[in-house]
Structures are given as structure tokens and as C-alpha cells.
Amino acid sequence: MNIIGLSLIEQNEIFKMLAIILWLGNVQFEEGDDGNTRISDTGVTDFIAYLMETQSASVEKVLTTRVMETQRGGRRGSVYDVPLNPAQASSGRDALAKAIYNNLFEWIVSRVNVSMKPRTQHTQVIGVLDIYGFEIFQDNSFEQLCINYVNEKLQQIFIELTLKAEQEEYVREQIKWTPIKYFNNKIVCDLIEERRPPGIFAALNDATVTAHADPTAADNSFIQRSAALSSNPHFESRGSQFLVKHYAGDVMYNVSGMTDKNKDALIKDLLDLIGGSGNKFLNGLFPDRPDPNSKKRPPTAGDKIKASAGALVENLMRAQPSYIRTIKPNENRSATEYDNKAILHQIKYLGLQENIRVRRAGFAYRNTFEKMIERFYLLSPATSYAGDYIWQGDSRSGCEKILKDTGIAKEEWQMGLTKAFIKNPETLFALETMRDRYWHNMAARIQRAWRNYWRYKNECATRIQRFWKNNKEGLAYAEIRDYGHTILAGRKERRRFSLLSYRRFMGDYLDVGKAKSPLGEIIRDACGLGNETVLFSSRSQLLVSKLGRSSKPSPRYLVLTDKAVNIVVTSNKDGKNVTSLERKINLSVIRGVALTNLRDDWMAIQGPICEEGDPVISCVFKTEFITYLMQATQGQVKIEIGPTIGYNKKKDKAAMIKAVRDETVLKDDVYKSHAIHVPSGEPPNSTSRPPAKRKAGVVRPITKGKLLRKGGPSTDRQKPAPKPVPKPTPAAKPLPGQSNPTPAKKYTPNPSTSTASSSAPPPPPPPQRGPVPPPPPAKPMYKAKYAFQGQEGELTLQKDELVELVQKDDNGWWLVKRGNEEGWAPYNYLELVPAAAAPAPPPPPARRAVPAAPQAGASSSSSKPLPLRKTFGSNGDDDDDSGPNLNKPTPKPPITGPKPGGLGAPKIGNKPPVPSAPRPPVGGSKPAVGSVRPQAAPPGQMDLASMLAKRAQQLN
């Protein structure tokens, strides 16, 4: 009780009511010497009065006596206290206990419903009704009659909603089928509940009214009254019993005690006792007490059952019930027994046999054309395109087209007047399966396209990354090379090798810094570099002075780090090659580098003044060495370029090497006796060659993914593949029963900026000039004096907008046209534009102008191009606006109802009122769907003579 939200006070009151019910069962009556009833133990009534918060004497009086009132000519008479016999007193006691219990139960149910009520708004409710089963016992009384009556009412609803309503719908929709006979149990319901002629409940009520202290006399009165029901074929009177032939079988009812159970023993005195109670909770359980001044007979138990069944039927008729029929396999509640006879009997009386026959002969599913199209329009290519509804016909033809295109046999479905009927559930399941497969296929296509897009994107990114990785280092090396050219500043002749386009300043040619090669590791260990960064390493030659002989070049390894210049030598000691550091010059002490102005490779590193002197080195990558040296020293080293190289041979001995141009030297340069013989090189102002054009490789197109086409450049250049002609996209339409969507604005190219493409054929030669035809009559043009917001079938106007008049009508609405759009507009919103004076005739043109590109809106019509339009449009001319236009968008149909507002819209500023008369249909007949203009002939069958005349007029 705490869970459903009952407070402690309410819980105590519930327990108090249960105590009253239990203590009422302890009240015993006995007959006194005078024949009247008295209570055996008044202590029980005293405690009941305490619980009900009333007087003990009132409880004792209500249980043993009854207040009667006489009337005289419609006026109140005397009031008498009539004592009750023990049977009547027991009946009143039981009625009071039942009433308190029933109302308490309903109160608890209402509180449970309040606690389970949803906190948000809802539009639909699902209810579950669990009813009593049909009861047939050895002794059947009033309770079984009420239960079986309710079952009869529910069976009647089942018949009305399944059998009768279905057959009536087939007749209403003009469906071809075979009617099925079934048993309608309305005759049984009328037997029980009718008033005229009186039924069983009416006879019981009449017998109850005449009942007195002896219930047997009331039962006999009912037997006499029920004899009049023998004319009903479903009723038989058999003495103290009667037989009713229900839909579930024949039931024999005993009359004994039936009238006593039917009458309402909760008399007015008991209700007055409850009303006088001080317990507010008890008073709240009886909110609907009868009017004390009312002379109507209180309702009996039969009346209450009938009213309750009627309310239940009314509630079910407002809903859409679905039935679950349960069948008992046997009467022994055994899980292994299967009583064929009993099961067949239940199938028969539940109406399942007739229902199956009707379902087999009828149709399992039906729905309106609009709902069918809304659900399954995707299954036909004639009704859908790219998920949009494109059917041009009505809903019935569209629904029929869908069922035909899905391949369903004709005998499996029929078209009614407003609904489509499908015979077997398997057919509906097949349609649902095809619809699900369509969405799955669309989802798979979207996923496949999305994956292919990502594959394409990733492949493009991979190619870009690969290209960048292959070239970013080269770009950095090229930048260093350009810096080296700047250092030389056009003062030294260049070797051709250093000017190649693919020449890059790689720096560490011996892999000393990365130590990826054995030689690089040996040199690194010999130098003892540690954490120093290697900027440059290369093979070179050092000019070595020997005693008594001239200097001679000797091989060395030249290593430049961020701290020093290392000269490494490999010598042979004890038959082994030993690599060692010969000399190390810190960058901080290097004063400059001296070079010649010719193309030789010699340079002198001018270091500190010492006994060893300055090293003179020949290195092929001298420019690169100087570049990295300048970067490491931040440009502090001086670069001297001249005809000679000056250096310190010893501590105090300066020497000079002269460069001599000698064309007899075939390769590189030759050192001899302080002279460098070298051939002529490239001019000093030479720059690096532009990047060489790479050899054209095989184009590798991105072909990953099923939606991407294989290919690359076409190898067959003689026969190029023809371009596919795109199909016109059908225009989307709203689904039946939905409002028209706002049409999307399409791009229309400006004729002044549109030019003929290079592939367009040359214009035809100008035709021979003939007699000038008379000018066509001027079209009446009107200007909008005010802005007008049109509705469906009307044309929206802006102020000072020009429109062409098509048709006038006497009711105040005119049909006007603006371009390809037509609609109705109020006449008093329009003003005639006076015709301009005819201009002077222009001089004859030398040739015809190239026709402008057609407007985008002209090709966006939802209908297919007509043959006549194609034939006359082949010469490149557009139809005149005054003639019939086959490809123009169909305007909205006019609304023939009166304008909202009755007497016209109110005036806005100085605007005149909009005409209140209904807009007439064009031509006096019902306009075609999607058009407001009358069509003299079907599309494609126009007035041929008028079109030919206009064509001839345009050609002249």
C-alpha cells in the first residue's frame, strides 16, 4: 500500500472497513415471542457502531426494522416502523457488508489507477479485458445467468466486429466474394435484456417488486411471468427451472432464490445510517446516494449488470479490439489429455468456425488507397524515384500499379471503391519483406558509397602524403643548395655537376651521424663525436708537405660537426688499416676559407696560427662544405675568392697557391708545384638548372571500390566513348492526403551571359528574306496596383508587377499569367497598362543570332517530352508564349469554394476588398488535376494549324 501511494491514515481506514465487514458477519438474529427479529448479542452491534462512528441504537434499529411511508393522493402520509423477520434482517445485513466491500474495492482500484497514471500526455491507451468463462454447472442460478449474459454481449460484439461488419464492408466496397452464413446471438441477448417484450431481467424485476416476506412466493410469480417467454425458440420453461439456449450450449437455471438475489436489499435506511456516520472515509465510499424524495424504484442487481455490460460494450465499440481465444483441452486440468469432442464444441460455440470461413472467403488485409501508397509506393519504379513519390494519376490507379509491378497474382487482391483488399496474409508479408529489403538495399548502397568515398579519400591522402614524403627532404636540401649559391655570389666558376637540377646538398655522405654503415661507425669512433651533430662528411684529399719534396695530395675523410672540423686518416700499421683522427679544428677559431675563382675543388681552411699550418683540402663538395660551415658559425667565417689561395704553411711561413687555366686537363684538376691546373668551367653567374621534366609514367587511377570505374586515360583515342545522355529526373509530388510542398527554386541561366559551347554546331545560314509579316496583336498587360498574397489556385502578386490577362470572369476574379505560371487574381487589384507606340522597323539583320540556351525550368517538367514538341523544336526555336506550351509547369487547381471571410477580406491601407464570390473553373467544367487552364485536346494533340502558322511567322 505504501508503493501505490496510500497514506497511513488511509491504510487505517481500509483496515477499519474490513473490520466492519467481518463484524457484520458476526451479527446473529433470533425470533422473539412476538414474532419479530432481535439481535442475539448487542455487544457486536455496539462495536460496529464504534467502528462506524455512530450510535449503537441506530445500528440495531436499522438491522431489525424498516421505515415505511404511506401516501394519500400524491401527498405524504404516515410513517411506520415495520419490524423485519430473521430472513429479511439477514438479507439487509449481508447487503450492507457487500456494499461496503464493493465500494471499498472500487476505491482501491481507483487509487491504483491514479498511481499508475502516466505523468505525460498520451493519445492512445491499450487496455486488457479478462472476462469470465462461460459457466455451465449442475446447479445454475442468478450468478451464472449474469455471467453468461455478459459473455453473450461480448460474443455479439465479436460477431458485429468480425463477421457482420466484414461482410457489410465487402458489399459496400463492391468486392466479389461468397457470403458465409453464421449464427447471430442477438436473439439470445434480447431474450435476457429486452423490456418490450419483457425479457428475463424484466420478469425478475416485476416479480421482485411484488415480493414480500416470503421469497418462495416471488419465485412462483417469476415462473408465471416467464411463461410468456416460451414463444422465443431459445427459451424453455420447465416448472421450477428454465432453459436458455446460449451460443455456447444449453443451460438449465434454477428459479429458487433468484428473485431474492435480484432485489436490492440495501434499503434507504441502511444508506441513511452510512450518511449519518461520523467517519468521513465511510461517507466517501458512497458518493452516489439516492434522492430521498425520489419515488423511483431503486435498481436491482439485474439492472446493474445490464448497465455495466452496456457501458463495457460502449467502451469496446470506441476502441479497436483484438481477440485472444483460449480453449481448454480437457476438464481434468491435465497436461497430457486432449478431448477432441470438447475442443470441437468450444471451437463451434466461440464462433471460430464461422470466422475462419469468412476469413478464407474474404480478405485478410484491407486499407485505403492513400495508406497503401504511403506504405508501399517505393516498390514500383512508376511511383517512386530516389525515394520521392512521382505518380501523376489518382490514388486508386497508383495503388493498382504498385500491386501489378510487385508481381502479385490478380486473384490475391481486389480494388474496392475506397480501399485495396489483400486476400492472404502471406501476400502482405511479402509486400512488407520487399519494403524492408528496399530500405536495406538503399542503406547498403549508401554505406557502400560512403565506404568508397572514404577509400577514395584515403587513397588520395596516401598519394599526397607519399609525394610529400618523397619531396619534402629534397626541398630542404634544395634550399640549402640555393643558400650555397648565394654565398659564392657569382665569384667562382662552377662545375657542371653542381648545377644539375636533381643535385641536392645531402650533407652526411659517409653516414657518420646516423652510423648506418660500417665506415661511418669507424669514422665516428675515431673522431669521438659523442653528442655532436654531424653536418657534413665526405671523402677529400689533403695537401701534405714532405721533407725535401714538393707537397702531394693524400686521401682523407673530412667531417664537419656543429663544434669542429675533423680530418680523419686511414693508415697501415702492422699490416692493418687503422683509422684515426689526424686533426681537429674548432669552429670558433676558424677565420675564413680561401678558394680560387676557377672551377677547381681546392680550399684552404684558415685556422689559428700554429706549427701545423692551415690545411689545404681538395673536396668535390666544397660548396656544400662551405654552406654548412657558414650555417654552423652563423656567417662568422670569411670566404675569400680570388686567383690565388693564401694560407699559412707553417707557423710563420705564408704560402700561396695559384690557379692556372689549362684546357689540356681532361678531368677535374691537377696540383703541381703550388699551381692548380684546371680547365674552364661554367660562368660564375650560373645557377642551378631548372627541374628536369620527369619521364611520363603510367597513370594509375584510383579504382578501389565497386562504384568507381576502372580506367585512366583512354588508349583508344580514335574512337572516344560516347557520353551517356542523362535521363530527365521526374518531379517529386506529395503523397496522397498530404499538403503540397513548396517547389524548390531551380537555377535559370541568364540569356545575356549564356554562350554557346565550343561543341555546339554552327548556326544555320540566314534564310532568304521574304515579305515582312504584320506584327502580332499586342497582348493586354496589367500591372498589380497592390501586393496580393495568393492561396492555392491563386497567383501571388507583387506591387507594380506585370501580368498577362488570360480570361475575365464576372464574379470579380480574373485568370492571369506570369511566364509559365497561371492563377486567379482579384480584378480590382489590376490596372491596364496602355500599349506603347510601335517602334520603327529595325534594319534587316545580316544573319540570325544563335539561339539562347533553353531555360532550366522548361526541362524540369514532370511529364515526359511529347513527340509533337520534339518534332517542332528540332530547329532550335522556342515556342511563342501566346501559343500552347506543352512543357510548362501545370499550375495549381483553383479552389471553387468562397473566399474565407464571407464578405471579403478587410481592407489593408487603401487596398480594395478581395471579391468574395467563388472563383469559377476555367471553361465552365471541372479543371484537370494540376492545371487551371482548359485543354482543348489531350497532350501531344494540339492545334497543328496554329502551331505551323506561328512557326512560319517566326522563320520569316
pLDDT at 856 over 60: no
**DSSP single-letter state for residue 858:** G
Whole-prediction pTM: 0.44
CB atoms within 10 A of CB 472: 10
- Give the burial class of 760: count Cβ atoms within 10 A of its Cβ; 0-12 exposed, 13-18 middle, 19 or more buried: exposed
- The pLDDT of residue 74: 55
List the single range of 263-267, 363-367, 423-427, 656-660 with lowest mean pLDDT.
263-267
- The pLDDT of residue 587: 92
List the single range of 109-118, 152-161, 560-569, 870-879 with lowest mean pLDDT.
870-879
Rounded alpha-carbon distances, angstroms, from residue 446 to 317, 384, 434, 442: 46, 18, 18, 6
Listed in sequence order, the residues at least 6 apart from 884 whose beta carbon sits closer than 8 Å to its beta carbon are 942, 943, 946, 947
Query: How do residues 317-341 score in pLDDT, each as one tens digit?
Result: 888 788 788 888 998 889 899 999 9
pLDDT at 792 over 50: yes
**SS3 of residue 698 by DSSP:** coil
At what angle are helices 425-488 and 622-632 packed, to 10 degrees? 90
Q: How far is Cα 387 from Cα 191, in angstroms, rounded to an integer?
A: 58
The highest-confidence range among 221-235, 425-439, 874-888, by mean pLDDT, is: 425-439
Q: How far is Cα 747 from Cα 119, in angstroms, rounded to an integer?
A: 51
pLDDT at 849 over 50: no
Q: 197: cis peptide before it, omega within 30°?
A: yes
- The pLDDT of residue 746: 45
Listed in sequence order, the residues at least 6 apart from 640 whose beta carbon sits closer than 8 Å to its beta carbon are 592, 593, 594, 595, 646
> Mean pLDDT, to the nearest integer, of 567-589?
91
> Mean pLDDT, to the nearest integer, of 195-211?
83
**Which residue bears the cell 467517519?**
279
Contact 877, 950 (CB under 8 A): no
Residue of 718 and 130 predicted with greater confidence: 130
**Which residue bears the cell 678531368?**
667
> Mean pLDDT, to the nearest integer, of 239-260?
88
> Mean pLDDT, to the nearest integer, of 50-58?
91
Contact 205, 307 (CB under 8 A): no
- The pLDDT of residue 751: 42
Give the β-pairing of 654-661 and 675-678: parallel
Query: How do residues 600-622 score in pLDDT, each as one tens digit?
Result: 999 999 988 888 889 999 999 99
pLDDT at 204 over 80: yes
Query: How do residues 287-308 score in pLDDT, each as one tens digit?
Result: 876 665 666 677 888 888 898 8
Q: How far is Cα 465 from Cα 453, in angstroms, rounded to an integer?
A: 18
CA angle, 492 as apex, 487 and 494 as ends, to 5°? 100
Alpha helices in 336-380 (DSSP H): 340-349, 352-361, 369-376
Query: How do residues 752-770 score in pLDDT, each as one tens digit?
Result: 444 344 444 444 454 444 4
Which residues, in sequence order, are bridge partners of residue 538?
Answer: 558
> Mean pLDDT, to the nearest integer, of 575-594?
92
Mean pLDDT over all residues of the chain?
77
pLDDT band at 747 (very low <50, low <70, confident <90, very high): very low
List the single range of 74-78, 232-236, 444-448, 653-657 with lowest mean pLDDT.
74-78
Listed in sequence order, the residues at least 6 apart from 743 whose beta carbon sits closer than 8 Å to its beta carbon are none
SS (H, E, C) 807-838: ECCCCCEEEEEECCEEEEEEHHHEEECCCCCC
560's enclosing H/E stretch is: strand 549-561
pLDDT band at 809 (very low <50, low <70, confident <90, very high): confident
Q: 867: cis peptide before it, omega within 30°?
A: no
Give the β-pairing of 830-832 and 781-784: antiparallel
Q: Kindly state the cell numbers that stand for 642.
A: 680570388
> Mean pLDDT, to the nearest integer, of 907-925?
51
**SS3 of residue 381 by DSSP:** coil
pLDDT at 7 over 70: yes
- The pLDDT of residue 585: 93
Q: Kindly state the cell numbers that stand for 837.
A: 507606340
Contact 676, 604 (CB under 8 A): no
Rounded alpha-carbon distances, angstroms, from residue 910 to 193, 251, 828: 71, 84, 12
Listed in sequence order, the residues at least 6 apart from 913 whose beta carbon sits closer than 8 Å to its beta carbon are 828, 903, 904, 905, 906, 907
> Mean pLDDT, to the nearest integer, of 372-399?
91
List the single range of 378-382, 396-400, 564-568, 698-702 with lowest mean pLDDT.
698-702
pLDDT band at 778 (very low <50, low <70, confident <90, very high): low
Q: How far is Cα 850 from Cα 871, in angstroms, rounded to an integer?
A: 20
Q: How far is Cα 398 from Cα 370, in angstroms, rounded to an integer?
A: 9
pLDDT at 888 over 80: no
Query: How do residues 688-712 score in pLDDT, each as one tens digit?
Result: 777 767 666 666 666 655 445 554 4
Query: How do residues 631-646 score in pLDDT, each as one tens digit?
Result: 999 888 999 999 999 9
pLDDT at 212 over 80: no
pLDDT band at 23 (very low <50, low <70, confident <90, very high): very high
Give exposure, 62-101, as e/b (b: 16+ Cβ within 10 Å).
bbbbbeeeeeeeeeeeeeeeeebbeebbbbbbebbbebbb
At what angle are helices 8-25 and 86-115 packed, to 10 degrees? 160
Q: Kindly state the cell numbers that stand for 650.
A: 707553417
**DSSP single-letter state for residue 923:** G
Contact 583, 564 (CB under 8 A): no
- The pLDDT of residue 727: 63
pLDDT at 596 over 90: yes
CB atoms within 10 A of CB 743: 10
The amino acid that residue 185 corresponds to is N
- The pLDDT of residue 513: 87
> Mean pLDDT, to the nearest integer, of 653-663?
90
In angstroms, what is the C-alpha Rg of the chain? 56
Give the β-pairing of 638-642 and 592-596: parallel
Q: Kindly state the cell numbers that stand for 545.
A: 708537405
Residue-level length of the chain: 956
pLDDT band at 941 (very low <50, low <70, confident <90, very high): very low
Which residues, in sequence order, are bridge partners of residue 540?
Answer: 556
Contact 847, 766 (CB under 8 A): yes
Q: How far is Cα 831 from Cα 232, in angstroms, rounded to an integer?
A: 82
